[in-house]
Every structure is written in structure tokens, then in C-alpha cells.
């Protein structure tokens, strides 16, 4: 047995009142070493903390005392659980909770902390495949983009953010980490560093969005920046980086303000960008490359698609960039996979946000 394994075992035996929680921390540290993003680890910690507290409420303090039947009861508890608003957890949220518990016990078994893995043959919750429920029409997205008061510094910043989201289809976490030097003004592209899956990619940005971005950089960002300038593109009024949740609140407030009868935030613009480009005839493969999807219903590698070709497709099919009237096109079979993946992303993002909020201020009942 290695020293690391002995240390983990010692933690479980010496502090049984928090054994599951502490071992969960060790498991998350192993994921950190493997390259998982900090935001992802923060959400996973909220999930594991929920399981640890559930176990403690039932008198189980040591990971070795957890049985398959107990994890099954936890899965059933998730099914009947109701959030503060009285609504149940969606299936994808239940799945995310259980799959992390399964991963924890697989790791504990591999580290010889427990003799047998109680989650080895666990029945997983079913995950429904759904398409995006809320997608904006061209008229609606233009109404949304027109909501910020661009004569005010924050309004101009917010317009630039939403134009960037809509033009590039970036994830919110990718937007908040953008740097000034990631924008290529001459080429009309943005470099996304260490996106989901720790992969860099270059995406086109339309002329209109680039214009709003330039206006923000020249007129507003200098007012917000605090020296030494760290180079983050979008800043809050204190000169710091915008957090993902803050960004969601900002965009969500404009969605509500626009009174379109639809809900959503950053992912709403990501969905809309992909859907409108599909409707205008873009090949799903190019949209996959722009969105950073590396694994959908096809095995073709899109990382070799040239940025020049992506810019051509973007200019021809993105409503915010097109110089000619958009043309309808037949939907391809693989388009459902693309839109389904987008909905899964949005559901996962909402799941981890809800879980983190619940775990911090909610008492779990039996």
C-alpha cells in the first residue's frame, strides 16, 4: 500500500464523523491533478457535500459503511426531493449527483480505501434527450440586444458582452476569461484559451459584434481598469473579472426586461446562434467547430477546419454578420444532436448552479 493510500485510510478511520466528506475532498484533489477546471470542481464539491450530509443524517459517517442499498435510497431521495420553489430535480440533475457518487466510490475502491465498491452495479437515473425549449427568433434577439442603455458605461459593456455571446456562441465561462490580446481585430477572430475540455480554439466574430467590442474597449474599459492591468477583457466596475454567475444574472435581467415570454441567459444566446445559423444553411460540422463540440453523433475530427472557412460560413449564415438575405434550408438529421447537446450544456450549467446554492443555505430534510 502506498503512503498516499495509507494517508487516505487514516483520514477515514481517524475522523469517521466526517469521513465521507474528507474522502470526497481527496477525490476532488485527484480530479484537480488530472486537469479538471476549478469551476467544475467547485460544483462537484457541492454535489458530494450534499451526499455526505445525507449520509450523516442517517448515522453513516464512514465511507466503508455505505452500501449499494443505501446509494439506491439516496437515488430515490433525489427523485422525490423538492427545491425551494417546490419543483423536483430534473432527471439530468439527478444523474449528475449519482454519477459523481459512483465516481467517488470507484476511486475509493481503486485506492484500496474500501474493500468493495457499493456503486459498481448501480442503476443510473434516465436522462432524457431534449432539444432547446427556448430559442429566440431574429426579431426577438435584436430586441434583446437593444435592451442595454448604451449611453451608460455598464450598458455599453453589457451590449458588447451580449453581441459577443450571440456572434461567437461562446460559453459564459469562456467569455469571462477572455483577455484583451485574445481578440484579433484585423482578422475578426477570438482565441478561446483552455475552453471546455482544456482545448484552445479560434472562432470568428462578426463585424457588428466587433464594432461594439471595440467601442467598449476604447470608451468604457479604461474607466473600469485598475492598475496593474491584468488584461481581462470584460471588467466589473471595481476593475475585476466578472464571475460566471454574475454574467448570467446580467444577461438574464435583460431577457426578463425584454418581455419576450422566454427564459434563459447566456446559453439562450448560444442556442439562438446555433439554431439561426442552421436555419440559414450552415453545415452542422462548422457550427460544431465554432461551439467547441468535440464529441456528438459523428467521429469526424473538426479541429482541422480552417478558420478562413469558418469565417466564410459565419459571414454567410449568421444573421448578425450576413450581407445577404438569409435563406431557409432543410434541417439535417445531425442538427438534432447539435441542439440536443446545447440543451444538455444548459441543463448541466443550471444543475450545478442550483446545487451550489442549495448546498450553501438549505437544510436537507429526510
State how far the Cα of 275 lies from the Cα of 291, in Å rounded to an integer.
12
Fold of 138-335: hpI Integrase; Chain A (1.10.443)
* pTM beyond 0.85: no
Active-site residue among 45, 50, 221, 270? 270
Query: For residue 130, what pLDDT is reported?
Result: 55
Q: What is the distance between the alpha carbons of residues 150 and 166, in angstroms, rounded to a whole number?
A: 17
- Start and end residues for every CATH 1.10.150.130 domain found in the chain: 3-130
pLDDT at residue 307, as a whole number: 67
From the list 50, 97, 171, 201, the catalytic residue is: 171
Catalytic site residue 196?
A: yes
pLDDT for 61 equals: 86
Catalytic residue among 302, 311, 314, 318: 302
* Region for 59 from its dihedrals, namely left if φ exceeds 0, alpha if ψ lies in -120 to 50, beta otherwise: left
267 among known catalytic residues: yes
- Give every strand in the sheet of 201-204, ordered side by side: 183-184, 189-192, 201-204
Tell me, what's the pLDDT at 4? 41
* 3-state secondary structure at position 245: helix
Name the catalytic one among 196, 215, 253, 285. 196
CATH of 3-130, one of 3.10.28.10, 1.10.150.130, 1.25.40.850, 3.40.109.10: 1.10.150.130
Give per-10-residue mean pLDDT for the chain (366 aa).
42 50 93 83 90 94 93 93 86 88 94 91 72 79 95 97 95 93 94 73 92 97 94 95 92 94 90 86 83 52 52 80 45 54 60 49 34
Q: Which of 45, 293, 314, 318 is catalytic?
A: 293
Whether 27 sits among the annotated catalytic residues: the reply is no
Q: For residues 66-101, b (16+ Cβ closer than 10 Å) or e, as one string?
A: bebeebeebbebbeebeeeeeeebbbbbbbbbbbbb
Q: What DSSP element (H or E) covers 192?
A: strand 189-192
Judge whether 334 and 319 are in contact, CB under 8 Å.
no
Active site residue 74: no
Closest CA to 243 of 232, 227, 254: 232
Concerning whether 181 is annotated as a catalytic residue, the answer is no
Choose, from 44, 267, 271, 314, the residue flagged as catalytic.
Answer: 267
Transcribe 63-129 into DSSP letters.
GGG--HHHHHHHHHHHHH-B-TTSPBPPHHHHHHHHHHHHHHHHHHHHTTSSSS-TTTTPPPPP---
Q: How far apart are CA 212 and CA 215, in angstroms?
A: 5
Alpha-carbon distance of 355 to 43, in angstroms, equals 7
* Look-up of cell digits 487514516: 10
Residue whose C-alpha cell is 475540455: 197
- Ranges for all domains in the chain classified under CATH 1.10.443.10: 138-335
**Cα radius of gyration (the chain):** 23
Q: Is 171 a catalytic residue?
A: yes
Q: Which residues, in sequence order, are CB contacts of 124 under 8 Å at separation 6+?
A: 95, 98, 99, 102
Amino acid at each position: 500500500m502506498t503512503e498516499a493510500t495509507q494517508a487516505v485510510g487514516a483520514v477515514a478511520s481517524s475522523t469517521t464523523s466526517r469521513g465521507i466528506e474528507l474522502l470526497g475532498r481527496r477525490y476532488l484533489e485527484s480530479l484537480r491533478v488530472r486537469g479538471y477546471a476549478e469551476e467544475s470542481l467547485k460544483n462537484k464539491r457541492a454535489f458530494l457535500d450534499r451526499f455526505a450530509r445525507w449520509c450523516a443524517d442517517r448515522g453513516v459517517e464512514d465511507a466503508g459503511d455505505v452500501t449499494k442499498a443505501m446509494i439506491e435510497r439516496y437515488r430515490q431521495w433525489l427523485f422525490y426531493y423538492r427545491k425551494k420553489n417546490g419543483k423536483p430535480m430534473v432527471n439530468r440533475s439527478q444523474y449528475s449527483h449519482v454519477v459523481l457518487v459512483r465516481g467517488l466510490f470507484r476511486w475509493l475502491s481503486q485506492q484500496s480505501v474500501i474493500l468493495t465498491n457499493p456503486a459498481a452495479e448501480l442503476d443510473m437515473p434516465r436522462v432524457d434527450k431534449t432539444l432547446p425549449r427556448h430559442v429566440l427568433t431574429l426579431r426577438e434577439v435584436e430586441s434583446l440586444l437593444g435592451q442595454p442603455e448604451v449611453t451608460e458605461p455598464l450598458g455599453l459593456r453589457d451590449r458588447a458582452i451580449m453581441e459577443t455571446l450571440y456572434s461567437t456562441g461562446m460559453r459564459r465561462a469562456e467569455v469571462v476569461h477572455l483577455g484583451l490580446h485574445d481578440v484579433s481585430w484585423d482578422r475578426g477572430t477570438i482565441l478561446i484559451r483552455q475552453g471546455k475540455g482544456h482545448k484552445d480554439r479560434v472562432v470568428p466574430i462578426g463585424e457588428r459584434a466587433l464594432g461594439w467590442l471595440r467601442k467598449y474597449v476604447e470608451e468604457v474599459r479604461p474607466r473600469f481598469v485598475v492598475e496593474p492591468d491584468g488584461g481581462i477583457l470584460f471588467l466589473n466596475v471595481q476593475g475585476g473579472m466578472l464571475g460566471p454567475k454574475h454574467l448570467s444574472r446580467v444577461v438574464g435581467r435583460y431577457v426578463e426586461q425584454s418581455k419576450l415570454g422566454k427564459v434563459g441567459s447566456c446559453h439562450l444566446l448560444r442556442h439562438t446562434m446555433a439554431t439561426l445559423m442552421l436555419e440559414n444553411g450552415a453545415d452542422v460540422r462548422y457550427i460544431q467547430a465554432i461551439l467547441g463540440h468535440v464529441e456528438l453523433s459523428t467521429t469526424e475530427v473538426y479541429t482541422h477546419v480552417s478558420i478562413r472557412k469558418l469565417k466564410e460560413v459565419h459571414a454567410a449564415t449568421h444573421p448578425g454578420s450576413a450581407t445577404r438575405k438569409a435563406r431557409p434550408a432543410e434541417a439535417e438529421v445531425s442538427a438534432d444532436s447539435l441542439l440536443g447537446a446545447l440543451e444538455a450544456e444548459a441543463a448541466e450549467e443550471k444543475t450545478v448552479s442550483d446545487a451550489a446554492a442549495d448546498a450553501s443555505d438549505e437544510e436537507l430534510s429526510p
